[in-house]
Amino acid sequence: MVFRNTVEALFLKALGSKLTMRCVERVKEAGIDLRSKKLKLFYPRETYYRCVRIVGEELFGELEEDQRMMRLGHAFMDGYEQTVIGKAMITAVRFMGPKRTLAKMTTNFRSSNNYMQTELREEKPGDVSLTLSQTSGAPGYFEAVLTRAMGFAGAKGFGIRREAYDGARCTYRITWAP
Protein backbone atom coordinates (compact mmCIF):
# COMPACT_ATOMS: atom_id res chain seq x y z
CA MET A 1 0.00 0.00 0.00
CA VAL A 2 1.02 3.59 -0.63
CA PHE A 3 0.11 5.94 2.20
CA ARG A 4 -2.02 9.07 2.00
CA ASN A 5 0.93 11.41 2.66
CA THR A 6 2.59 10.13 -0.54
CA VAL A 7 -0.53 10.76 -2.61
CA GLU A 8 -0.90 14.18 -1.02
CA ALA A 9 2.76 15.08 -1.58
CA LEU A 10 2.79 14.33 -5.32
CA PHE A 11 -0.71 15.00 -6.56
CA LEU A 12 -1.85 17.81 -4.26
CA LYS A 13 1.20 19.61 -2.85
CA ALA A 14 3.62 19.37 -5.79
CA LEU A 15 1.33 19.20 -8.82
CA GLY A 16 -2.13 20.29 -7.67
CA SER A 17 -2.22 23.59 -9.53
CA LYS A 18 -0.82 22.00 -12.70
CA LEU A 19 -3.43 19.25 -13.02
CA THR A 20 -6.16 19.85 -15.59
CA MET A 21 -9.75 18.73 -15.04
CA ARG A 22 -9.17 16.04 -17.65
CA CYS A 23 -6.16 14.76 -15.71
CA VAL A 24 -8.05 14.79 -12.40
CA GLU A 25 -10.90 12.85 -14.03
CA ARG A 26 -8.52 10.27 -15.51
CA VAL A 27 -6.85 9.82 -12.11
CA LYS A 28 -10.27 9.40 -10.48
CA GLU A 29 -11.23 6.74 -13.03
CA ALA A 30 -7.96 4.97 -12.22
CA GLY A 31 -8.76 4.90 -8.49
CA ILE A 32 -7.76 8.11 -6.69
CA ASP A 33 -10.29 10.90 -6.24
CA LEU A 34 -8.17 14.03 -5.88
CA ARG A 35 -11.26 16.22 -5.38
CA SER A 36 -12.40 14.24 -2.36
CA LYS A 37 -12.48 16.27 0.86
CA LYS A 38 -10.49 13.51 2.51
CA LEU A 39 -8.06 11.14 0.83
CA LYS A 40 -8.10 7.50 1.87
CA LEU A 41 -5.47 6.41 4.40
CA PHE A 42 -3.79 4.23 1.78
CA TYR A 43 -4.08 3.09 -1.83
CA PRO A 44 -2.94 -0.10 -3.55
CA ARG A 45 0.54 0.25 -5.02
CA GLU A 46 -0.76 -0.58 -8.51
CA THR A 47 -3.42 2.13 -8.29
CA TYR A 48 -0.91 4.77 -7.22
CA TYR A 49 1.54 4.01 -10.03
CA ARG A 50 -1.26 3.78 -12.60
CA CYS A 51 -2.23 7.31 -11.53
CA VAL A 52 1.41 8.46 -11.57
CA ARG A 53 1.67 7.29 -15.19
CA ILE A 54 -1.53 9.13 -16.12
CA VAL A 55 -0.21 12.35 -14.61
CA GLY A 56 3.10 11.82 -16.43
CA GLU A 57 1.28 11.43 -19.75
CA GLU A 58 -0.83 14.52 -19.08
CA LEU A 59 1.95 16.82 -17.89
CA PHE A 60 5.02 15.50 -19.70
CA GLY A 61 3.60 13.70 -22.72
CA GLU A 62 6.43 14.89 -24.94
CA LEU A 63 9.02 13.01 -22.86
CA GLU A 64 9.98 9.34 -22.86
CA GLU A 65 8.38 7.37 -19.99
CA ASP A 66 11.60 7.14 -17.95
CA GLN A 67 12.09 10.92 -18.17
CA ARG A 68 8.47 11.46 -17.12
CA MET A 69 9.02 9.26 -14.09
CA MET A 70 12.16 11.16 -13.17
CA ARG A 71 10.26 14.44 -13.34
CA LEU A 72 7.53 12.98 -11.16
CA GLY A 73 10.07 11.63 -8.64
CA HIS A 74 11.55 15.11 -8.30
CA ALA A 75 8.04 16.57 -8.01
CA PHE A 76 7.19 14.04 -5.30
CA MET A 77 10.17 15.22 -3.25
CA ASP A 78 9.09 18.86 -3.75
CA GLY A 79 5.69 17.98 -2.35
CA TYR A 80 7.07 15.68 0.34
CA GLU A 81 9.05 18.62 1.73
CA GLN A 82 5.70 20.32 2.35
CA THR A 83 4.18 17.49 4.43
CA VAL A 84 4.63 17.05 8.18
CA ILE A 85 6.18 13.60 7.75
CA GLY A 86 8.41 14.83 4.92
CA LYS A 87 9.71 17.80 6.88
CA ALA A 88 10.64 15.53 9.79
CA MET A 89 12.28 12.96 7.52
CA ILE A 90 14.29 15.53 5.59
CA THR A 91 15.48 17.17 8.81
CA ALA A 92 16.71 13.77 10.02
CA VAL A 93 18.41 13.02 6.68
CA ARG A 94 20.35 16.29 6.87
CA PHE A 95 21.87 15.15 10.16
CA MET A 96 22.50 11.54 9.12
CA GLY A 97 24.63 12.23 6.06
CA PRO A 98 24.76 10.15 2.86
CA LYS A 99 25.90 6.74 4.15
CA ARG A 100 23.52 6.56 7.12
CA THR A 101 20.67 7.88 4.97
CA LEU A 102 21.18 5.05 2.47
CA ALA A 103 21.54 2.50 5.27
CA LYS A 104 18.14 3.62 6.60
CA MET A 105 16.35 3.59 3.22
CA THR A 106 13.91 0.82 4.12
CA THR A 107 12.82 2.90 7.13
CA ASN A 108 12.75 6.06 5.01
CA PHE A 109 10.56 4.45 2.34
CA ARG A 110 8.26 3.07 5.04
CA SER A 111 7.01 6.60 5.66
CA SER A 112 5.51 6.37 2.13
CA ASN A 113 4.55 2.71 1.70
CA ASN A 114 4.42 -0.66 3.45
CA TYR A 115 6.19 -2.84 0.90
CA MET A 116 9.63 -1.48 0.10
CA GLN A 117 12.69 -3.43 1.18
CA THR A 118 16.21 -2.26 0.47
CA GLU A 119 19.60 -3.89 0.48
CA LEU A 120 22.76 -1.82 0.75
CA ARG A 121 26.19 -3.12 -0.21
CA GLU A 122 29.20 -0.88 0.34
CA GLU A 123 31.88 -1.32 -2.30
CA LYS A 124 34.19 1.25 -0.69
CA PRO A 125 33.66 4.55 1.13
CA GLY A 126 31.41 6.72 -1.01
CA ASP A 127 30.54 3.88 -3.39
CA VAL A 128 27.53 1.66 -2.73
CA SER A 129 24.97 -0.51 -4.47
CA LEU A 130 21.41 -0.02 -3.26
CA THR A 131 18.73 -2.50 -4.32
CA LEU A 132 15.06 -1.55 -4.07
CA SER A 133 12.73 -4.53 -3.93
CA GLN A 134 9.90 -2.91 -5.90
CA THR A 135 10.05 0.07 -8.24
CA SER A 136 6.63 -0.63 -9.76
CA GLY A 137 8.02 -0.35 -13.27
CA ALA A 138 9.22 3.19 -12.59
CA PRO A 139 12.96 3.04 -11.80
CA GLY A 140 13.38 6.65 -12.93
CA TYR A 141 10.91 7.83 -10.28
CA PHE A 142 12.99 6.20 -7.55
CA GLU A 143 16.26 7.38 -9.11
CA ALA A 144 14.99 10.94 -8.79
CA VAL A 145 13.83 10.36 -5.20
CA LEU A 146 17.25 8.96 -4.29
CA THR A 147 18.99 11.85 -6.04
CA ARG A 148 17.04 14.40 -4.02
CA ALA A 149 17.49 12.43 -0.78
CA MET A 150 21.25 12.40 -1.28
CA GLY A 151 21.15 16.14 -1.91
CA PHE A 152 19.33 16.64 1.40
CA ALA A 153 21.94 14.39 3.04
CA GLY A 154 24.71 16.67 1.81
CA ALA A 155 26.32 14.30 -0.70
CA LYS A 156 29.02 16.06 -2.71
CA GLY A 157 30.16 14.77 -6.10
CA PHE A 158 27.04 12.62 -6.26
CA GLY A 159 26.42 10.11 -9.06
CA ILE A 160 23.77 7.44 -9.64
CA ARG A 161 23.27 4.82 -12.33
CA ARG A 162 21.22 1.67 -12.70
CA GLU A 163 23.21 -1.55 -12.47
CA ALA A 164 20.35 -4.02 -12.79
CA TYR A 165 16.63 -3.86 -13.37
CA ASP A 166 14.13 -6.69 -13.86
CA GLY A 167 10.91 -4.71 -14.23
CA ALA A 168 10.35 -4.48 -10.49
CA ARG A 169 13.58 -4.81 -8.51
CA CYS A 170 16.29 -2.26 -9.31
CA THR A 171 19.89 -1.91 -8.15
CA TYR A 172 21.43 1.55 -8.27
CA ARG A 173 25.14 2.29 -8.02
CA ILE A 174 25.49 5.42 -5.93
CA THR A 175 28.72 7.34 -5.48
CA TRP A 176 29.72 10.51 -3.64
CA ALA A 177 32.83 12.12 -2.22
CA PRO A 178 33.25 10.51 1.25
pTM of the model: 0.95
Model confidence at 35: pLDDT above 90: yes
Q: For residues 58 and 46, give the distance between their C-alpha atoms in angstroms, rounded to a whole number.
A: 18
- Closest CA relative to residue 40, chosen from 63, 8, 68: 8
pLDDT-based confidence at residue 37 (cuts at 50, 70, 90)? confident
Q: For residues 159 and 134, give the distance between their C-alpha atoms in angstroms, rounded to a whole number.
A: 21
H or E stretch including 97?
helix 84-103
pLDDT-based confidence at residue 111 (cuts at 50, 70, 90)? confident
The answer to whether 87 touches 165, Cβ cutoff 8 Å, is no
Q: Specify the pLDDT at position 147.
A: 98
pLDDT-based confidence at residue 41 (cuts at 50, 70, 90)? very high
Q: What is the pLDDT of residues 64-102, one digit of tens each?
A: 999 999 999 999 999 999 999 999 999 999 999 999 999
Beta bridge partners of 161: 173
- The percent of the chain in helix, strand and coil, each rounded to the nearest 5, is 55, 15, 30
Residue 134, phi-psi category: left (phi > 0), alpha (psi -120 to 50), beta (remainder): beta
The answer to whether 108 touches 149, Cβ cutoff 8 Å, is yes
| Mean pLDDT value of segment 121-143 | 97
Q: Tell me how many helices (H) and strands (E) the chain has.
A: 7, 6
